[in-house]
């Protein structure tokens, strides 16, 4: 998984943003719920917008005042986990 | 626990194929003065719980004030919803969760395509969003499925779905036939209804969550009592009319003489409840007489169908000679049961 790749939410995932910034994901196939904290929500939002992982990482640096390495690691770790849970997929259009 | 079912509005943000036209006619919201009267007198009438329905109750223009007044008056509350507005209103529910009994989401298919065919594209996922919020915020919720020709094969699937989504239960209910449901061929025949009931009853024992049926299922006992007939449930429509039953309220257009006990814009709740009790006594006496005369038919064992006839709401069936509920040719044309 590289920062110049894009990933997209699985089409069978329903996302719901809560009033405190948390996001709940429900996979309609497995009927399993997952919860994302506000940082995870920003990463999820980036996937929905079709951004490169590197662009999502840059956004995190700006919004949460974290260093480049921490932001990149957060993005890569979460997207890896989302893919493992079948909540996100590599975007075939990404380079 | 005695409760009052209040139709807050007949406006709705969906336009479901099987709903009574009057329930999404968009002609009005319940005035808050009527609600205040209910809250003021309700406890002396034995009412402890308020259950909101519609239309879509959460789109009443003053829903926030309504919940606040109900909580302040110390009533438990619940509501039925299509889930569309739930992401907007759930913080209000959380704020008053001490009084919140639960929300019932209408889910008319275990499969997305089935639900959306009946309720509109995207509506299934909106229910799923609402359920997600309930799970994460620990708000009790259940599902209600109206049985039609479209979802008749999804009963087991629905129970399984409800279990896996963390629902507190699932309730099935029969569709009240109307000219619209007849035209759309949504109505099940009496035999088909009984077949589905025979699928549902075993699930009550095998499921890990409560599974039940709304009143209206076939009952061997002629006097199978529902909430209103047990005097445990009152129904108030959006115009302030205390009516006999929420299942039939709005069927065949606006509620008329046979349904209405009185209007709370004119009467006290106490007076309307007294009329309600007398009306139920008359209803039961009429039913007993009919039974004694040997005029109780097989179809009369479906209690809501019996009431539909009793209240003179089946005359439209004469335009549908092949309708499954027309087979016995036992349509009441009398509308004189006042």
Which of B91, B112, B129 faces A16 most closely, judged by CB atoms?
B129
pLDDT (0 to 100) of residue B332? 41
Q: Per-residue pLDDT for B331 more than 60?
A: no
pTM of the model: 0.92
Output the six-digit token pair for A69.
């390495």
The pLDDT tens digits for B174-198 are 999 999 999 999 999 999 999 999 9
Average model confidence (pLDDT) across chain B: 91
Separation CA B122–CA B144 (nearest Å): 18
Region B311-337: what's the mean pLDDT?
70
Work out the pLDDT band at B335, boundaries 50, 70, 90. Answer: very low
| Closest C-alpha among B148, B305, B292 to residue B224 | B305
- Across the interface, whether the CB atoms of B136 and A31 are under 8 A apart is answered no
Say if residues B227 and B215 touch (Cβ distance below 8 Å). Answer: yes
| A-to-B residue pairs, Cβ atoms closer than 8 angstroms | 35
Q: Per-residue pLDDT for B126 more than 90?
A: yes
pLDDT (0 to 100) of residue B136? 96
Here the ipTM equals 0.92
Which of B112, B136, B161 faces A24 most closely, judged by CB atoms?
B136
Using 50 as the pLDDT threshold, list the residues of chain A that sit under it: 95
SS3 state at B106: strand
Edge-to-edge strands, sheet with B170-174: B211-213, B170-174, B141-147, B100-106, B76-81, B49-53, B3-7, B233-236, B241-243, B260-263
Residues of B within 8 A of A31 (CB-CB) are: 161, 164-165
Work out the pLDDT band at B13, boundaries 50, 70, 90. Answer: confident
| Closest C-alpha among B17, B15, B22 to residue B246 | B22
Separation CA A30–CA A86 (nearest Å): 10
pLDDT (0 to 100) of residue B253? 65
Which of A19, A33, A35 faces B91 most closely, judged by CB atoms?
A19
Query: Does B122 lie at the interface with A, CB-CB under 8 angstroms?
Result: no
Residues of B within 8 A of A17 (CB-CB) are: 87
Q: Per-residue pLDDT for B99 more than 90?
A: yes
Nearest CA to CA, how far is A38 from chain B (Å)? 15
pLDDT (0 to 100) of residue B94? 98
Find all residues with CB under 8 Å of A48, minimum gap 6, and list them. A8, A9, A15
Output the six-digit token pair for B48.
């402890």
End-to-end CA distance of chain A: 11
Residue whose structure tokens are 């909540």: A87
Work out the pLDDT band at B250, boundaries 50, 70, 90. Answer: low
pLDDT (0 to 100) of residue B225? 80
- Across the interface, whether the CB atoms of B137 and A18 are under 8 A apart is answered yes
Region B84-106: what's the mean pLDDT?
97
Measured between CA atoms, the residue of chain A closest to residue B137 is A18
- Across the interface, whether the CB atoms of B136 and A19 are under 8 A apart is answered no
| Closest C-alpha among B23, B28, B30 to residue B4 | B30
Region B27-38: what's the mean pLDDT?
94
Nearest CA to CA, how far is B186 from chain A (Å)? 27
pLDDT (0 to 100) of residue B16? 82
Q: What angle do CA B279, B275, B238 make, to 5 degrees?
A: 100
pLDDT (0 to 100) of residue B329? 46
Residues of B within 8 A of A26 (CB-CB) are: 128-129, 131-132, 165
The pLDDT tens digits for B271-283 are 999 999 999 999 9
Work out the pLDDT band at B104, boundaries 50, 70, 90. Answer: very high
Query: Does B95 lie at the interface with A, CB-CB under 8 angstroms?
Result: no
Nearest CA to CA, how far is B125 from chain A (Å)? 7
pLDDT (0 to 100) of residue B123? 97
Work out the pLDDT band at B336, boundaries 50, 70, 90. Answer: very low
pLDDT (0 to 100) of residue B302? 94
pLDDT (0 to 100) of residue B338? 36
pLDDT (0 to 100) of residue A50? 97
Q: Per-residue pLDDT for B120 more than 80?
A: yes
């Amino acid at each position: 998984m590289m920062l110049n790749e894009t990933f997209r939410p699985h089409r069978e995932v329903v996302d719901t943003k809560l009033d405190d910034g948390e996001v709940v994901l429900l996979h309609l196939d497995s009927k399993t719920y997952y919860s994302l904290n506000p940082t995870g929500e920003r990463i999820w939002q980036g996937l929905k917008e079709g951004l490169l992982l590197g662009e999502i990482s840059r956004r995190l640096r700006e919004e949460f005042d974290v260093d480049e390495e921490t932001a990149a690691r957060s993005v890569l770790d979460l997207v890896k986990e989302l893919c493992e849970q079948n909540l996100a997929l590599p975007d075939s259009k990404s380079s | 626990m005695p409760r009052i079912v209040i139709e807050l509005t007949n406006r709705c943000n969906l336009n479901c194929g099987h709903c009574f036209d009057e329930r999404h006619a968009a002609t009005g919201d319940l005035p808050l003065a009527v609600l205040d009267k209910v809250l003021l007198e309700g406890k002396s009438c034995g009412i402890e719980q308020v259950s909101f329905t519609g239309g879509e109750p959460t789109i009443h223009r003053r829903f926030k004030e309504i919940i606040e007044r109900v909580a302040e008056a110390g009533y438990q509350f619940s509501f039925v919803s299509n889930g569309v507005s739930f992401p907007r209103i759930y913080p209000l529910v959380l704020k008053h969760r001490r009084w919140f009994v639960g929300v019932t989401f209408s889910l008319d298919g275990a499969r997305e395509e089935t639900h959306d065919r009946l309720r509109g594209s995207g509506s299934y996922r909106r229910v799923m969003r609402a359920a997600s919020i309930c799970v994460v915020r620990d708000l009790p919720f259940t599902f209600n499925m109206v049985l039609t020709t479209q979802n008749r094969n999804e009963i087991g699937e629905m129970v399984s779905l409800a279990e896996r989504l963390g629902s507190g239960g699932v309730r099935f209910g029969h569709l009240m036939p109307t000219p619209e449901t007849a035209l759309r061929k949504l109505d099940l025949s009496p035999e088909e209804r009984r077949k589905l009931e025979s699928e549902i009853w075993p699930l009550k024992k095998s499921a890990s969550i409560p599974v039940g049926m709304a009143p209206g299922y076939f009952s061997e006992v002629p006097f199978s009592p529902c909430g209103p007939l047990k005097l445990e449930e009152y129904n108030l429509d959006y115009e302030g009319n205390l009516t006999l039953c929420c299942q039939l309220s709005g069927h065949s257009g606006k509620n008329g003489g046979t349904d209405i006990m009185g209007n709370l814009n004119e009467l006290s709740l106490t007076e309307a409840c007294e009329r309600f009790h007398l009306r139920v006594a008359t209803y039961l006496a009429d039913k007993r007489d009919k039974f004694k005369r040997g005029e109780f038919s097989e179809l009369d064992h479906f209690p809501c169908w019996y009431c539909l006839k009793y209240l003179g709401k089946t005359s439209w069936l004469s335009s549908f000679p092949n309708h499954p509920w027309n087979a016995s040719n036992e349509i009441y044309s009398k509308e004189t049961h006042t």
